[in-house]
Amino acid sequence: MKGKLSSSLYALSAAVFYGAGIPFSKLLMKNVQPVFMASFMYLGAGIGIGIMYVFHRRNESASERLTVSDMPYILGMIVLDVIAPVLLMLGVNLGSSSSASLLGNFEIVFTAITAMILFGEKVSRLLWLAIGMITLSGMILSADSGEALKFSPASLMVICAALSWGIENNCTRKISGRSTYQIVTLKGLCCGSLSFITAILTGEDLPAIEYIAASLVVGFAAYGLSIFTYIRAQKFLGAPRTSAYYAAAPFIGSFMSFVILGEGLSRNYVAALAVMIPGAVLAVLDSMSVRHIHEHTHMLLHGQVIKHTHEHEHFMLGSTHKHVHETLQ
Protein backbone atom coordinates (compact mmCIF):
# COMPACT_ATOMS: atom_id res chain seq x y z
CA MET A 1 0.00 0.00 0.00
CA LYS A 2 2.90 2.36 0.82
CA GLY A 3 4.40 1.79 -2.64
CA LYS A 4 1.05 2.42 -4.32
CA LEU A 5 0.49 5.65 -2.36
CA SER A 6 3.96 7.03 -3.07
CA SER A 7 3.63 6.11 -6.76
CA SER A 8 0.24 7.82 -6.93
CA LEU A 9 1.75 10.94 -5.37
CA TYR A 10 4.60 10.82 -7.88
CA ALA A 11 2.10 10.54 -10.76
CA LEU A 12 0.00 13.43 -9.45
CA SER A 13 3.13 15.55 -8.96
CA ALA A 14 4.07 14.89 -12.59
CA ALA A 15 0.68 16.21 -13.67
CA VAL A 16 1.05 19.32 -11.49
CA PHE A 17 4.52 20.20 -12.81
CA TYR A 18 3.52 19.62 -16.44
CA GLY A 19 0.15 21.38 -16.29
CA ALA A 20 1.56 24.47 -14.61
CA GLY A 21 4.25 24.80 -17.27
CA ILE A 22 1.94 25.38 -20.24
CA PRO A 23 0.80 28.97 -19.48
CA PHE A 24 4.36 29.99 -18.54
CA SER A 25 5.66 28.63 -21.86
CA LYS A 26 2.86 30.56 -23.61
CA LEU A 27 4.09 33.77 -21.97
CA LEU A 28 7.70 33.09 -22.92
CA MET A 29 6.80 32.32 -26.53
CA LYS A 30 6.10 35.99 -27.09
CA ASN A 31 9.89 36.27 -27.19
CA VAL A 32 11.03 32.67 -27.84
CA GLN A 33 10.13 30.82 -31.06
CA PRO A 34 8.53 27.33 -30.78
CA VAL A 35 11.45 25.01 -31.61
CA PHE A 36 13.90 26.99 -29.49
CA MET A 37 11.31 26.91 -26.71
CA ALA A 38 11.12 23.12 -26.89
CA SER A 39 14.93 22.97 -26.92
CA PHE A 40 15.39 25.13 -23.82
CA MET A 41 12.61 23.29 -21.96
CA TYR A 42 14.43 19.97 -22.43
CA LEU A 43 17.87 21.42 -21.79
CA GLY A 44 16.55 22.88 -18.54
CA ALA A 45 15.29 19.43 -17.60
CA GLY A 46 18.57 17.71 -18.46
CA ILE A 47 20.80 20.28 -16.77
CA GLY A 48 18.65 20.50 -13.62
CA ILE A 49 18.26 16.76 -13.07
CA GLY A 50 21.90 16.26 -14.10
CA ILE A 51 23.02 18.53 -11.26
CA MET A 52 20.83 16.54 -8.87
CA TYR A 53 22.40 13.31 -10.21
CA VAL A 54 25.91 14.52 -9.35
CA PHE A 55 24.96 14.44 -5.66
CA HIS A 56 22.92 11.24 -5.91
CA ARG A 57 25.23 9.07 -8.03
CA ARG A 58 27.31 7.68 -5.18
CA ASN A 59 24.14 6.23 -3.62
CA GLU A 60 23.18 4.41 -6.84
CA SER A 61 24.08 0.77 -7.53
CA ALA A 62 25.64 -0.31 -10.82
CA SER A 63 22.63 -2.53 -11.59
CA GLU A 64 20.39 0.54 -11.71
CA ARG A 65 22.31 2.22 -14.53
CA LEU A 66 21.39 2.07 -18.21
CA THR A 67 23.01 -0.63 -20.37
CA VAL A 68 23.48 -1.33 -24.09
CA SER A 69 20.42 -3.62 -24.05
CA ASP A 70 18.27 -0.58 -23.24
CA MET A 71 19.40 1.26 -26.38
CA PRO A 72 16.32 0.59 -28.62
CA TYR A 73 14.01 2.08 -26.00
CA ILE A 74 16.41 4.95 -25.31
CA LEU A 75 16.53 5.87 -29.02
CA GLY A 76 12.75 5.64 -29.35
CA MET A 77 12.34 7.79 -26.25
CA ILE A 78 14.72 10.48 -27.55
CA VAL A 79 13.39 10.67 -31.13
CA LEU A 80 9.76 10.87 -30.03
CA ASP A 81 10.65 13.39 -27.35
CA VAL A 82 12.19 15.65 -30.00
CA ILE A 83 9.06 15.52 -32.15
CA ALA A 84 6.40 15.86 -29.43
CA PRO A 85 7.39 19.13 -27.69
CA VAL A 86 7.95 20.91 -31.01
CA LEU A 87 4.43 19.96 -32.10
CA LEU A 88 3.07 21.02 -28.70
CA MET A 89 4.81 24.42 -28.78
CA LEU A 90 3.51 25.02 -32.32
CA GLY A 91 0.00 24.10 -31.18
CA VAL A 92 0.22 26.36 -28.12
CA ASN A 93 1.57 29.19 -30.27
CA LEU A 94 -1.31 28.92 -32.79
CA GLY A 95 -4.06 28.22 -30.27
CA SER A 96 -4.75 28.77 -26.58
CA SER A 97 -2.79 27.17 -23.79
CA SER A 98 -6.02 26.11 -22.02
CA SER A 99 -7.15 24.19 -25.13
CA ALA A 100 -3.70 22.63 -25.47
CA SER A 101 -3.93 21.53 -21.84
CA LEU A 102 -7.15 19.62 -22.37
CA LEU A 103 -6.15 18.16 -25.74
CA GLY A 104 -2.99 16.89 -24.09
CA ASN A 105 -5.17 14.27 -22.40
CA PHE A 106 -5.19 12.35 -25.67
CA GLU A 107 -1.81 11.16 -24.40
CA ILE A 108 -3.74 8.86 -22.05
CA VAL A 109 -5.60 7.35 -25.00
CA PHE A 110 -2.49 6.76 -27.10
CA THR A 111 -0.48 5.44 -24.14
CA ALA A 112 -3.12 2.82 -23.35
CA ILE A 113 -3.56 1.73 -26.98
CA THR A 114 0.21 1.48 -27.54
CA ALA A 115 0.69 -0.43 -24.27
CA MET A 116 -1.95 -2.96 -25.30
CA ILE A 117 -1.03 -3.41 -28.99
CA LEU A 118 2.77 -3.14 -28.95
CA PHE A 119 3.70 -4.16 -25.40
CA GLY A 120 0.87 -6.52 -24.36
CA GLU A 121 -0.03 -4.55 -21.24
CA LYS A 122 -3.53 -5.10 -19.82
CA VAL A 123 -6.08 -2.27 -20.11
CA SER A 124 -9.22 -2.64 -17.99
CA ARG A 125 -12.81 -1.94 -19.02
CA LEU A 126 -12.92 0.93 -16.57
CA LEU A 127 -9.89 2.58 -18.15
CA TRP A 128 -11.39 2.08 -21.63
CA LEU A 129 -14.53 3.89 -20.43
CA ALA A 130 -12.37 6.74 -19.14
CA ILE A 131 -10.49 6.81 -22.46
CA GLY A 132 -13.78 7.03 -24.37
CA MET A 133 -14.92 10.03 -22.34
CA ILE A 134 -11.55 11.75 -22.67
CA THR A 135 -11.62 11.16 -26.43
CA LEU A 136 -15.13 12.63 -26.72
CA SER A 137 -14.02 15.63 -24.70
CA GLY A 138 -11.08 16.19 -27.03
CA MET A 139 -13.33 15.97 -30.10
CA ILE A 140 -15.65 18.60 -28.65
CA LEU A 141 -12.79 20.90 -27.79
CA SER A 142 -10.80 20.51 -31.01
CA ALA A 143 -13.74 21.15 -33.35
CA ASP A 144 -13.50 24.63 -34.89
CA SER A 145 -16.36 26.85 -33.79
CA GLY A 146 -16.99 27.85 -37.39
CA GLU A 147 -17.14 24.34 -38.89
CA ALA A 148 -18.07 21.44 -36.60
CA LEU A 149 -16.39 18.79 -38.77
CA LYS A 150 -13.16 20.71 -39.36
CA PHE A 151 -10.27 20.39 -36.95
CA SER A 152 -8.04 23.38 -36.32
CA PRO A 153 -4.32 23.09 -37.17
CA ALA A 154 -3.44 23.98 -33.58
CA SER A 155 -5.59 21.13 -32.24
CA LEU A 156 -4.16 18.61 -34.68
CA MET A 157 -0.61 19.55 -33.70
CA VAL A 158 -1.34 19.03 -30.01
CA ILE A 159 -3.04 15.68 -30.75
CA CYS A 160 -0.01 14.54 -32.79
CA ALA A 161 2.22 15.59 -29.88
CA ALA A 162 0.05 13.47 -27.58
CA LEU A 163 0.40 10.49 -29.95
CA SER A 164 4.19 10.85 -29.93
CA TRP A 165 4.26 11.04 -26.14
CA GLY A 166 1.88 8.09 -25.85
CA ILE A 167 4.32 5.86 -27.72
CA GLU A 168 7.27 7.40 -25.89
CA ASN A 169 5.66 6.68 -22.51
CA ASN A 170 5.75 2.98 -23.30
CA CYS A 171 9.39 3.14 -24.41
CA THR A 172 10.23 4.84 -21.13
CA ARG A 173 8.18 2.27 -19.21
CA LYS A 174 10.50 -0.49 -20.50
CA ILE A 175 13.50 1.16 -18.82
CA SER A 176 11.71 2.68 -15.79
CA GLY A 177 13.49 0.22 -13.49
CA ARG A 178 16.81 1.89 -14.34
CA SER A 179 18.23 5.10 -12.85
CA THR A 180 15.58 7.83 -13.07
CA TYR A 181 18.32 10.45 -12.89
CA GLN A 182 20.17 8.96 -15.85
CA ILE A 183 17.02 8.63 -17.95
CA VAL A 184 15.86 12.23 -17.44
CA THR A 185 19.36 13.70 -17.82
CA LEU A 186 19.98 11.76 -21.04
CA LYS A 187 16.53 12.55 -22.39
CA GLY A 188 16.78 16.25 -21.57
CA LEU A 189 20.27 16.85 -22.94
CA CYS A 190 19.83 14.76 -26.11
CA CYS A 191 16.35 16.05 -26.97
CA GLY A 192 17.29 19.61 -26.12
CA SER A 193 20.43 19.50 -28.28
CA LEU A 194 18.64 17.97 -31.27
CA SER A 195 15.82 20.52 -30.99
CA PHE A 196 18.42 23.31 -30.76
CA ILE A 197 20.03 22.14 -34.02
CA THR A 198 16.56 21.90 -35.62
CA ALA A 199 15.76 25.47 -34.55
CA ILE A 200 18.94 26.78 -36.15
CA LEU A 201 18.37 24.82 -39.37
CA THR A 202 14.80 26.11 -39.67
CA GLY A 203 15.97 29.72 -39.28
CA GLU A 204 14.58 30.59 -35.88
CA ASP A 205 16.12 33.58 -34.11
CA LEU A 206 18.08 32.98 -30.91
CA PRO A 207 16.28 34.82 -28.09
CA ALA A 208 17.85 37.19 -25.56
CA ILE A 209 19.75 35.62 -22.67
CA GLU A 210 17.10 36.48 -20.06
CA TYR A 211 14.44 34.58 -22.01
CA ILE A 212 16.79 31.62 -22.45
CA ALA A 213 17.38 31.55 -18.69
CA ALA A 214 13.63 31.77 -17.93
CA SER A 215 12.91 28.97 -20.43
CA LEU A 216 15.52 26.74 -18.80
CA VAL A 217 13.94 27.27 -15.37
CA VAL A 218 10.43 26.53 -16.67
CA GLY A 219 11.82 23.47 -18.46
CA PHE A 220 13.43 22.14 -15.28
CA ALA A 221 10.07 22.21 -13.48
CA ALA A 222 7.61 21.46 -16.30
CA TYR A 223 9.72 18.79 -18.04
CA GLY A 224 12.52 17.79 -15.65
CA LEU A 225 10.60 17.31 -12.41
CA SER A 226 7.51 16.15 -14.31
CA ILE A 227 9.38 13.42 -16.21
CA PHE A 228 11.33 12.43 -13.10
CA THR A 229 8.20 11.88 -10.98
CA TYR A 230 6.38 10.28 -13.93
CA ILE A 231 9.07 7.61 -14.37
CA ARG A 232 9.13 6.93 -10.63
CA ALA A 233 5.35 6.34 -10.77
CA GLN A 234 5.67 4.02 -13.79
CA LYS A 235 7.79 1.56 -11.82
CA PHE A 236 4.72 0.58 -9.80
CA LEU A 237 1.65 1.69 -11.77
CA GLY A 238 2.64 0.89 -15.37
CA ALA A 239 2.31 3.14 -18.44
CA PRO A 240 -1.49 3.38 -18.94
CA ARG A 241 -2.31 3.99 -15.29
CA THR A 242 0.44 6.54 -14.75
CA SER A 243 -0.61 8.48 -17.83
CA ALA A 244 -4.18 8.46 -16.50
CA TYR A 245 -3.06 10.76 -13.71
CA TYR A 246 -2.26 13.30 -16.41
CA ALA A 247 -6.01 13.87 -16.51
CA ALA A 248 -5.30 16.32 -13.67
CA ALA A 249 -2.78 18.29 -15.75
CA PRO A 250 -5.26 20.12 -18.01
CA PHE A 251 -7.32 21.35 -15.09
CA ILE A 252 -4.18 22.72 -13.46
CA GLY A 253 -3.03 24.20 -16.77
CA SER A 254 -6.43 25.71 -17.51
CA PHE A 255 -6.67 27.30 -14.07
CA MET A 256 -3.17 28.75 -14.41
CA SER A 257 -4.02 30.02 -17.92
CA PHE A 258 -7.12 31.75 -16.58
CA VAL A 259 -5.23 33.36 -13.67
CA ILE A 260 -1.99 34.27 -15.46
CA LEU A 261 -3.06 34.85 -19.06
CA GLY A 262 -6.69 35.85 -18.57
CA GLU A 263 -7.83 33.43 -21.29
CA GLY A 264 -11.60 33.20 -21.67
CA LEU A 265 -13.52 29.94 -21.68
CA SER A 266 -15.62 29.21 -24.79
CA ARG A 267 -18.82 27.14 -24.83
CA ASN A 268 -16.85 24.32 -26.48
CA TYR A 269 -14.33 24.48 -23.66
CA VAL A 270 -16.99 24.31 -20.94
CA ALA A 271 -18.76 21.39 -22.67
CA ALA A 272 -15.46 19.53 -23.11
CA LEU A 273 -14.56 20.13 -19.48
CA ALA A 274 -17.92 18.72 -18.34
CA VAL A 275 -17.18 15.47 -20.21
CA MET A 276 -13.52 15.42 -19.24
CA ILE A 277 -14.12 15.58 -15.46
CA PRO A 278 -15.95 12.22 -15.09
CA GLY A 279 -13.48 10.64 -17.53
CA ALA A 280 -10.60 11.87 -15.40
CA VAL A 281 -12.24 10.53 -12.24
CA LEU A 282 -12.69 7.09 -13.81
CA ALA A 283 -9.06 7.08 -14.94
CA VAL A 284 -7.86 7.82 -11.41
CA LEU A 285 -10.20 5.19 -9.91
CA ASP A 286 -8.78 2.60 -12.31
CA SER A 287 -5.24 3.45 -11.24
CA MET A 288 -6.24 2.61 -7.65
CA SER A 289 -7.10 -0.99 -8.55
CA VAL A 290 -5.55 -3.82 -6.56
CA ARG A 291 -4.07 -6.96 -8.13
CA HIS A 292 -3.98 -10.30 -6.33
CA ILE A 293 -2.19 -13.43 -7.58
CA HIS A 294 -3.10 -16.83 -6.15
CA GLU A 295 -1.13 -19.97 -7.00
CA HIS A 296 -2.33 -23.50 -6.30
CA THR A 297 -0.50 -26.79 -6.93
CA HIS A 298 -2.48 -30.04 -7.34
CA MET A 299 -1.05 -33.59 -7.31
CA LEU A 300 -3.16 -36.01 -9.37
CA LEU A 301 -3.45 -39.76 -8.67
CA HIS A 302 -1.23 -40.74 -11.62
CA GLY A 303 1.61 -38.49 -10.44
CA GLN A 304 0.96 -35.51 -12.71
CA VAL A 305 1.43 -32.11 -11.07
CA ILE A 306 -0.72 -29.17 -12.16
CA LYS A 307 0.16 -25.64 -11.11
CA HIS A 308 -2.87 -23.36 -11.38
CA THR A 309 -2.38 -19.59 -11.06
CA HIS A 310 -5.28 -17.18 -10.68
CA GLU A 311 -4.65 -13.49 -11.24
CA HIS A 312 -7.43 -11.21 -9.99
CA GLU A 313 -7.39 -7.49 -10.67
CA HIS A 314 -10.08 -5.78 -8.64
CA PHE A 315 -11.33 -2.35 -9.54
CA MET A 316 -13.58 -0.12 -7.54
CA LEU A 317 -16.13 -0.02 -10.36
CA GLY A 318 -15.09 -3.00 -12.46
CA SER A 319 -12.95 -6.12 -12.49
CA THR A 320 -10.98 -8.48 -14.65
CA HIS A 321 -10.14 -12.12 -13.98
CA LYS A 322 -7.26 -14.00 -15.54
CA HIS A 323 -6.39 -17.71 -15.34
CA VAL A 324 -3.00 -19.19 -16.15
CA HIS A 325 -2.50 -22.97 -16.29
CA GLU A 326 0.83 -24.73 -16.36
CA THR A 327 1.16 -28.52 -16.45
CA LEU A 328 4.36 -30.16 -15.16
CA GLN A 329 5.13 -33.78 -16.00
For 156-194, write each residue's pLDDT tens digit: 888 888 889 889 888 888 888 889 999 999 999 998 999
Is residue 49 within 8 A of residue 140, CB to CB? The reply is: no
pLDDT in tens, 40-54: 999 999 999 999 999
Write out pLDDT tens, residues 122-167.
778 888 888 788 778 767 766 654 444 345 777 788 888 888 988 9
> Which among 104, 142, 111 is positioned nearest to 222, based on CA atoms?
104
* H helix or E strand, kind and range, residue 319: strand 319-328
- Backbone phi and psi for residue 320, each to the nearest 5 degrees, phi listed first: -130, 155
Reference 69, options 194, 178, 155; nearest CA is 178
Give the pLDDT confidence score for residue 135 in this predicted structure: 75
Residues 286-312: what's their mean pLDDT? 52
224: which DSSP letter? I
Q: What is the pTM of this model?
A: 0.70
User: Count of CB atoms within 10 A of residue 84's CB?
Assistant: 23
